[in-house]
Chain A
Amino acid sequence: MKHIISAVVENKAGVLAHIAGLFSARSYNIESLTVGATENPALSRMTIVAAGDEAILEQIRKQLAKVIDVLKVVDYAGKRVVERDLALIKVSAPPAKRHEIATLVELFRGRVVDISASSLTIEVSGPEEKIEACIDLLRPCGIKEMVRTGVVAMLRGEGGAGKSAED
């Protein structure tokens, strides 16, 4: 079972190392971990996508909450959230294939952000499944290089009550 867990942490040196060490020391599997600024410069937010059975996920939440520099831990499982991952995908694209690829990417509301004689670099963002779908369709073209940010997520509206304005 895959959960998105958000941790609000103090923006201090060593916190990321602490959290990363916590996962490796206890052999928890994480799919992605992102960390970035929040509305409060003193705080950062980590978004962790972790897999495991309920007992492991409960331990992950508790172990995170136990870290002194962690202020708040929320597991988004079962909650209404806006979830975004961003991928940069460089695909082989001889001039004859460019149009086809660009059309395909538009279906995912992706953009071509770089172009060369033999390749296109595409930016696509959205929930993980959407990015996976886009990657699957681009794969036959030949993916030369890819990088993803990992998931960031936020509760919808007030405590998750907001409506989807887009997807």
Chain B
Amino acid sequence: MEKNGAHILVETLLEEGVEVLFGYPGGAVIPIFDALYEGPIKVMLTRHEQGAAHAADGYARATGKVGVCLATSGPGALNLTTGIATANMDSIPMVAITGQVKTHLIGNDAFQEADVTGVTRPITKHNYLVKDVHDLGRIIREAFHIARTGRPGPVLIDIPVDVTTAKPSGPVDKTPRLPGYKPHIEGNPRQIKLAAQQINASQRPVLYVGGGVISSGASAELLQLAEKARIHVTTTLMGLGSFPSAHALNLGMLGMHGTPTANYAVTESDLIIAVGARFDDRITGRIDAFAPNAKVIHIDVDPSSISKNIPVHIPVVGDAKIILSKLIPHITPVDREAWAARIAEWKRRHPLNYKRDTGKIKPQFVLEQLCAAVPEDTIFATEVGQNQMWACQWLQFKRPRSWLSSGGLGTMGYGLPAAIGAKAGRPGAMVVDIAGDGSIQMNIQELATAKVYNLPVKVMILDNGYLGMVRQWQELFYNRRYSSTRLNGNPDFVKLAEAYGAKGMRVSDPGQVRPAIEEALKTDDTVMIDFLIDPEENVYPMVPAGEAINRMIGGMA
């Protein structure tokens, strides 16, 4: 049989090392699904295209490989967009393949037509509309190269259905042609030396690290640098797992729901060493009060991240792993006893805390018990809102690629499909989704995907009957006017899990939290536990929007 476009697509995906893809069929991609029918790529049919995009994202975060999702034209492609934007904001390597109407119908408002390259241009690293089957192989190669190199991100390939059925007239050249794409990787040696001098001369340095450390695989180098230079580390949400939570030099997360110690340390520091982080507004708070006395070293692979939000004194553009390994030899250990003592004092006086022994289930308690019970190789996913922030604060991370959370975009409904994607990529790992009763309902249909493909994930719903984070803002800043945040009419989550053939459990007594978790973890099935938590528990500490990050409210012991 002569190869058509769809065969070239599948063949090139295999050449790129694709083992799994998450997709949903439709009229414009029937030829692609036909070419996939006989394998060997494992196709996982999700129950909604958004689930496919998040599953590809979760797969990518957990494995470091490029996640692949596939949807039909029009509504199928548009349903991917939230997942694509999520991956774009968090710099996750993904290739999204969408069907398009026939070439000659493009622009005619054809059935299931949407201008998908137009819609996704601002939410992808790059995108393509393939108009000629001879370009298809090259474009797929380019897409994977762009997705996984430099600052990673999603690349979309829109393929008209007639391109997938067309047969090329001769051999196809797949050699990428990307004259405008040359990521800076190595780091300027002069800048690296300057950075080292600045670090060696600093009295109150803080390493502020983000997702770039994880995407470049620089955790070992980060640990080496921190230990050699004796510098404390604070991570962004995206950076969780890049540095062991239990390490004495770890300050925890910084920013709006960061630890007091991290926020105080950054505010008083004389040198911020930013690695693979982008000074997001949830990190900096009021910008003129962010680390007001600090010089800033910024190591980042994306030049446009540098001096975007915060003026940077020593930029070093390149890959974090390479730059840190070049930096470490120039570092001399410096004793900064006064600074270390000050940090130790903050840690002692302001640990994260919550009210224990109230007779109610506190979400923090659930997370503490979960952490104590899970095996070493566990991947945590979260939904978005209070559940996510409690997870940031209370989960203990031991290794990178063990954390899946929508940081930049804050996409509710991310956690369950991302967990499923992670389980598909790392079947040996325990995968737990920390959920809220609001978020979980945004993609709950993916329980079917978990069941069908035997991807047993554990969903822990911190059920407070509210859209809790917005309710918290309403409580604190809107006179407790709980406008549209009470979730009346929630389903019975136990029955719902059972309806999908999964195991459902409900816990309303604090004494049953640990046993229920233990049971879920040892059950070889998808399990959803509905924890009925204290309904008005808040996430503290909290920096009110627009405030300086050392002006935290609540939860200060």
Listed in ascending order, the chain A residues whose CB lies under 8 Å from chain B are 9-10, 13-14, 17-18, 21-22, 25, 55, 58-59, 62-63, 65-71
Let me know if B118 is at the binding interface, CB within 8 A.
Answer: yes
Residue in A13, A59, A66 whose CB lies within 8 Å of B129? A13
Mask: chain B, 292-305; 1 = CB below 8 Å from A; 0 = not: 00000000001110
- The one of B121, B179, B303, B307 in contact with A71, judged by C-beta atoms closer than 8 angstroms, is B179
What's the nearest-Cβ distance from chain A to residue B84, in Å?
Answer: 15
B178 touches A68 (CB 8 A): yes
Within 8 A of A (CB), among B104-149: 117-118, 121-122, 125-126, 129, 146
Contact between chains at B121 and A21 (CB < 8 Å) = yes
Take A68-B178, A70-B180, A71-B179 as given contacts and tell me if A14 and B121 are in contact as well, using a CB distance cutoff of 8 Å: yes
Do A69 and B180 contact each other (CB < 8 Å), given the known contacts A21-B122, A62-B303?
A: yes
What residue of chain A has the Cβ atom nearest to residue B302's Cβ? A66
Determine which of B121, B179, B181 lies in contact with A18 in the assembled complex, contact meaning CB atoms within 8 Å. B121
In this assembly, does B350 line the interface, its C-beta being within 8 Å of a C-beta of chain A? no
A13–B107 CA distance with the chains assembled, in angstroms: 14
Question: For residues 483 through 528 of chain B, which have their beta carbon under 8 Å from a beta carbon of chain A?
Answer: none
**A62 and B126 form a contact (CB under 8 A):** no
Q: List 16 A-B contacts (CB under 8 A).
A: A13-B129, A14-B117, A14-B118, A14-B121, A17-B118, A18-B121, A22-B122, A25-B122, A55-B307, A59-B304, A66-B303, A67-B180, A68-B178, A69-B180, A70-B180, A71-B180
Tell me, yes or no, whether B308 is within 8 Å of chain A by CB.
yes
Closest Cβ neighbor of B142 among chain A residues:
A68
The 9 A-B residue pairs whose C-beta atoms are closest, nearest first, are A62-B304, A71-B180, A68-B126, A68-B181, A62-B303, A70-B180, A25-B122, A66-B304, A63-B304
Name the interface residues of B288-330: CB closer than 8 Å to any CB of A.
302-304, 306-308, 311
Chain A residues near B125 (CB-CB < 8 A): 68
Greatest chain A CB density within 10 A among B181, B304, B307, B311 is at B304
Q: A57 CB to closest chain B CB, in angstroms?
A: 12
Of chain A, the residue at the smallest CB distance from B306 is: A62
With a 10 A CB-CB cut-off, give which of B117, B179, B180, B181 has the most chain A CB atoms.
Answer: B180
- With a CB–CB cut-off of 8 A, which chain A residues contact B180? 9-10, 67-71
Distance between A61 CB and nearest chain B CB, rounded to angstroms: 9
Chain A nearest Cβ from B149, distance in angstroms: 11
User: Which residues of A sit under 8 angstroms from B311, Cβ to Cβ?
Assistant: 55
The distance in angstroms between the C-alpha atoms of A68 and B121, with both chains bound, is 12
Kindly state the interface size class of chain B when it binds its partner: 10 to 19
* Given A10-B180, A25-B122, A68-B126; 18 other pairs, CB 8 A cutoff: A9-B180, A14-B118, A14-B121, A17-B121, A18-B121, A21-B122, A58-B307, A62-B303, A63-B304, A65-B303, A66-B304, A68-B125, A68-B146, A68-B178, A69-B180, A70-B180, A71-B179, A71-B180
Residues of A within 8 A of B303 (CB): 62, 65-66
Q: Kindly list chain A residues whose C-beta atoms are within 8 Å of the C-beta of B304.
A: 59, 62-63, 65-66
Q: How far is the CB of B205 from chain A (nearest CB, A)?
A: 25
* A25 proximity list for chain B (CB < 8 A): 122
The docked-state distance in angstroms from the alpha carbon of A21 to that of B307 is 22
- C-alpha gap A17/B307 in the complex (Å): 26
User: How distant is the Cα of A27 from the Cα of B287 in the complex, in angstroms?
Assistant: 20
- What chain A residues lie within 8 Å of B178 (beta carbons)? 68
Produce 1/0 per residue, B433-471, CB < 8 A to A.
Answer: 000000000000000000000000000000000000000
Docked CA distance A65–B151 (Å): 14
Q: Which residues of A contact B179 (CB under 8 A)?
A: 10, 71
Query: A51 to B178, alpha carbons, bound, how many Å?
Result: 30
Task: Report B-chain residues with C-beta under 8 Å of the C-beta of A66.
Answer: 302-304
Q: A10 to B126, alpha carbons, bound, how many Å?
A: 14
What chain A residues lie within 8 Å of B146 (beta carbons)? 68
How far is A25 from B120 in the complex, measured between Cα atoms in Å?
A: 13
Collect the chain B residues with CB atoms within 8 Å of residue A68's CB: 125-126, 146, 178, 180-181
* Bound CA–CA A55/B122 (angstroms): 22
The listed residue with most A CB atoms (<10 A of its CB), out of B121, B125, B146, is B121
Chain B residues whose CB sits within 8 angstroms of the CB of A9 once the complex forms: 180
Least CB distance, B144 to chain A, in whole angstroms: 13
Cβ–Cβ < 8 Å partners of A55 in chain B: 307, 311
Q: Inside 8 A of A65's CB, which chain B residues have their CB?
A: 303-304
Considering only CB atoms, which chain A residue lies closest to B308 in the complex?
A59
In the complex formed, the residue of B with least CB distance to A55 is B307
Q: Give the shortest distance, in Å, between A26 (CB) and chain B (any CB).
A: 10
A58 proximity list for chain B (CB < 8 A) = 307
Contacts of B117 in A (CB 8 A): 14
What separation, in Å, do the CA atoms of A102 and B307 have in the docked complex?
52
A58 to B121 Cα, complex, angstroms: 22
- A38 vs chain B, min Cβ distance (A): 14
Q: What distance in Å separates the Cβ of B88 from its nearest Cβ neighbour in chain A?
A: 12
User: What's the least CB distance linking B53 to chain A, in Å?
Assistant: 21
A146 to B167, CA, bound (A): 51
Residue of A nearest to B125 (CB): A68
CB distance from A65 to the nearest CB of B (A): 7
Which residues from B are CB-within-8-Å of A21? 121-122
> Once the chains are docked, how many angstroms separate the CA of A22 from the CA of B307?
18
A14 to B124, CA, bound (A): 13
> In the complex the two chains form, what is the Cα distance from A37 to B178 in whole Å?
20
- Shortest CB-to-CB span from A46 to chain B, Å, is 13
